[in-house]
């Protein structure tokens, strides 16, 4: 494996030919031939909820499934097309893209009645990518009529449009740990490349982050302590996961395989594991990596 250091202006990252490179040991969590991806963790880091999608499903398996982190006890908690689920920090609810991405809904974490909460005037198409604020009072998402990042306050019912930019598709990736800003991958509609931004939840002011791979695609995931940030970037035809300091800086390749995508990372709340989606052959599964944050930070300082 050849390591090549590249410095361009303020951007510094290590690029590694993607022929199979995982920084730490990984294990496969799901094995069904259908698509299983985009994991979200329970607050105690003991369970994962993931989406199951099979366009030819005849058994009613499409929906959201909950599984122990050791891969046992898989249980369906929602039936229907469901994507991009996010477990609330207090453990009570799961928000997700429903109706083939045309609405945002919520369910109790153990399953139950579907909850509609956004006003009918809000337009969702191709998924809203909903994500919880740390105090569970707000949900950020992308509204498609105005192509803008919005927040909805579950306590007051206030809907706030925060950010949009002509020719761009702002994709929310989560909240900063202080709850004051939202991480956004601002995708150019023509090139499909993204800029990494922090958007103020108060006034929509944007602050760019630097140091990421120039082929940054999307799927932002902030570490529980707020110090590290994972994102997906395209190298050749396939996506790999990169990691960098959350305020900007050098990036390292975290996880990749030859002839397959590695994307959709999610940190466990205890900071010890990362779940992600990996495609190999025709499989589309959840994998888990045990991480050593101390080692990652030491690598980033080199």
Q: Identify the pLDDT of residue 275.
A: 98
**CB burial string 65-90: b at 16+ within 10 A, e below:** bbbebeeeebeebbeebbbbbbbbee
DSSP code of residue 246: T
Measured distance CA(239)–CA(261) in Å, rounded: 5
Chain centroid, CA 116 distance in Å: 22
pLDDT digits (tens, 9 = 90+) for 76-114: 999 999 999 999 999 999 999 999 999 999 999 999 999
Q: Is the dihedral of CA 254, 141, 116, 146 positive or negative?
A: negative
Burial class (CB in 10 A: 0-12, 13-18, 19+), 288: buried
Q: Identify the pLDDT of residue 10.
A: 34
Please provide residue 19's backbone torsions phi and psi, each rounded to the nearest 5 degrees.
-120, 10
Domain ranges of the chain: 1-24+222-277+287-302
Q: What band does 2 get if pLDDT is binned at 50, 70 and 90?
A: very low
Of the ranges 10-14, 16-20, 42-46, 120-124, which one carries the lowest mean pLDDT score? 10-14
CA 167 → CA 145, 192, 198, 217, distances in Å? 13, 11, 18, 16
Q: Identify the pLDDT of residue 206.
A: 97
Measured distance CA(255)–CA(26) in Å, rounded: 9
Q: What band does 235 get if pLDDT is binned at 50, 70 and 90?
A: confident
Measured distance CA(168)–CA(164) in Å, rounded: 7
Q: Over the Cα atoms of the chain, what is R_g?
A: 18
pLDDT digits (tens, 9 = 90+) for 200-227: 999 999 999 998 988 998 899 999 999 9
Q: Which two tokens stand for residue 279?
A: 């495609």
pLDDT digits (tens, 9 = 90+) for 144-193: 999 999 999 999 999 999 999 999 999 999 999 999 999 999 999 998 88
Q: Identify the pLDDT of residue 85.
A: 98
Q: Could you give the percent of the chain with pLDDT greater than 90?
A: 82
Q: Identify the pLDDT of residue 71.
A: 95
Strand-pairing partners, residue 83, are: 97
Cβ neighbours, 10 Å, residue 178: 9
Q: Identify the pLDDT of residue 283.
A: 82
Average pLDDT taken over every residue of the chain:
91
Mean of pLDDT values over 266-290? 94
Q: Identify the pLDDT of residue 20.
A: 65
pLDDT digits (tens, 9 = 90+) for 142-153: 999 999 999 999
What's this model's pTM, rounded to 2 decimal places? 0.91
Residue 217 near residue 233, CB atoms below 8 Å: yes
């Amino acid at each position: 494996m050849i390591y090549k250091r590249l410095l361009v202006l303020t951007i510094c990252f290590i690029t590694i030919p993607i022929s199979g490179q995982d920084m730490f040991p990984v294990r496969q969590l799901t094995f069904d031939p259908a698509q299983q991806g985009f994991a979200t963790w329970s607050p105690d880091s003991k369970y994962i909820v993931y989406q199951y999608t099979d366009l030819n499903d005849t058994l009613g398996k499409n929906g959201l499934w909950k599984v122990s982190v050791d891969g046992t006890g898989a249980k369906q908690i929602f039936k229907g097309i469901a994507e991009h689920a996010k477990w609330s920090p207090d453990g009570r609810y799961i928000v997700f893209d429903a109706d083939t991405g045309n609405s945002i809904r919520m369910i109790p974490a153990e399953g139950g009645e579907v909850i509609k909460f956004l006003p009918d005037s809000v337009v969702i198409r191709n998924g809203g990518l909903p994500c919880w604020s740390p105090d569970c009072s707000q949900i950020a998402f992308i509204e498609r009529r105005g192509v803008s990042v919005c927040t909805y306050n579950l306590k007051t019912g206030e809907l706030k449009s925060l950010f949009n930019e002509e020719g761009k598709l702002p994709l929310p990736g989560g909240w900063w740990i202080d709850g004051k800003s939202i991480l956004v991958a601002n995708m150019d509609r023509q090139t499909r490349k993204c800029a990494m931004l922090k958007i103020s939840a108060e006034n929509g002011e944007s602050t760019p982050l630097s140091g990421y791979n120039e082929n940054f695609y999307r799927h932002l995931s902030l570490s529980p302590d707020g110090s590290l940030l994972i994102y997906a970037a395209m190298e050749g035809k396939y996506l790999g996961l990169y990691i960098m300091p959350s305020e900007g800086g050098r990036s390292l390749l975290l996880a990749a395989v030859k002839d397959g995508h590695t994307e959709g990372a999610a940190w466990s709340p205890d900071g010890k594991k990362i779940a992600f989606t990996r495609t190999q052959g025709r499989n589309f599964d959840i994998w888990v990596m045990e991480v050593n944050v101390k080692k990652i930070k030491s690598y980033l300082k080199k």
